[in-house]
Amino acid sequence: MTTRLKNYIDGQFVDSASTRTIDVVNPADETVVALSPVSTAEEVAGAVAAAVRAADTWGRTTPGVRQKALLDLADAIEARADDLVAAQVRNTGQLAAMVKAEEILVGADQIRFFAGAARLLEGRAGGEYMEGFTSYVRREPIGTVGQVTPWNYPFMMAVWKIAPALAAGNTLVLKPSDTTPESTLLLAELAGDVLPAGVFNVVLGDATTGAALVENPALGLVAITGSVRAGIAVAQAAAADVRRAHLELGGKAPAVVFGDADLAKAAEGIAQAAFFNGGQDCTAATRALVHDSVYDEFVAALTAQANTLRPGAPDDEDAFYGALNNVHHFTAVMTRLESLPAHATVETGGHRIGDRGFYVAPTVITGVRQDDPIVQEETFGPIITVQRFTTEDEAVALANGVNYGLASSVWTTDHGTATRMSAAIDAGCVWINCHIPLVAEMPHGGFKNSGYGKDLSVYGLEDYTRIKHVMSAHD
């Protein structure tokens, strides 16, 4: 009998009263592994009410108390790492080794960062800025926040949302993707052992559930990692009654390769950044922009690298990435490949692998034009396009000539070129001679349609706080 999943509300798992369910499918073999309820608006409201009740107590705890809870949660995550991997892989089809190394263990480390950051909130120095008065700044929790996470890195994205919110003293209700709920539910179970009831709640469901969450007026902030379309809906819901929104949306990252770059290193690094996690990464290298003098050599090197990186089953130790997450996304990616313009050339890949599981070959496409949909629109699959440029100004124009601005990379051995390009590229992150590494201490977030607000770093923590000026008269 297929397991029916439960919501986690007010410190316990509870059955949903909803008669609607969603099949949770393993993308590696297309089997149904669980049934997830489509939680009702009333159940979402109940979860928010539980978080609101817990907010007064949790928001008044000292940073040291919150630090201890987060450190204990990080320890619990490491102790249950294999269980978390198993829960996630059966929902995502990702490589098990990658999930453990890059999400579970890294996620525990990121929680430890926010545990420490909770005790280092900053503000202006208290002092006499007007004669006869002393002013100081209080940085306070917002209260209760609603959060929506995606399916590409379910555990890590949940950590990015909950860790700064909890460290700042907020309570929360989180809705994971309908295709990947299980690792988030296990995270909630572990958190339940170290957090008071109601501080961390999880509701399951589809877009209607998410809408019921972000529209709840009791939330002081709503946050999402997801598509531009979903981000706009969240921002509109928040704007209706002047609540804050935190949006980490899509990307279409350029990797700009100059003629003096180490081409072997660039081809290897860009290929890995393009195909890591099957390209299901908003920071993935999706557009290689290559100087005309080395274009042919680079295309050959990139194609050769792509041919060494193949998808495989979660336990395949020789595979580089797993299946695409779900049948709808798989169909969208294949449709995009099947509708390429006549002037585009598929150098390698462009096809499905096998007849069971949502596997797509690593794909390199040349001959594309700047206004092609494959260049302009996020595909979120193992696909990279290659375009030529001749001048630095042209490279900047191509790099910035999309609606996204999340991440980018520049490949050159010239310091001046790297410095100028890092200033000129309109993206929240510019990597130099690398692409895709992230660290907890540095901010992650974009410009333009890639959203606003930061994950990770003290900037991410500050996004979950509000600032109050207190002024006291001396007499």
Catalytic residue annotation: 248, 282
Q: Tokens 């290897």 — which residue? A: 268
Distances (CA, A) of 427 to 139, 165, 286, 396, 423: 28, 25, 14, 11, 9
204: tokens are 């399951």
* CA-wise closest residue to 295 among 381, 433, 395, 402: 395
Rounded CA-CA distance 160/176 in Å is 13
Rounded CA-CA distance 448/450 in Å is 5
Which ranges in 118-227 belong to alpha helices (H)? 154-167, 182-192, 207-214
19: tokens are 């008669």
331: tokens are 């169909």
Rounded CA-CA distance 288/197 in Å is 48
* CA-wise closest residue to 16 among 35, 50, 43, 34: 43
Strand partners of residue 26: 31
Residue 296 has a CB neighbour count (10 Å cut-off) of: 12
What is the full DSSP assignment across 90-115?
HHH---HHHIIIIIIHHHHHHHHHHH
Distances (CA, A) of 162 to 58, 157, 311, 389: 14, 9, 31, 42
Q: 167 with 195: CB under 8 angstroms?
A: no
- With vertex at residue 289, the alpha carbon angle to CA 287 and CA 295, rounded to the nearest 5 degrees, is 125
243: tokens are 């609540």
Helix axis angle, 63-79 relative to 81-92, nearest 10°?
A: 70
Q: 128 with 134: CB under 8 angstroms?
A: yes
Fill in the DSSP letter of residue 430: E
160: tokens are 């990015």
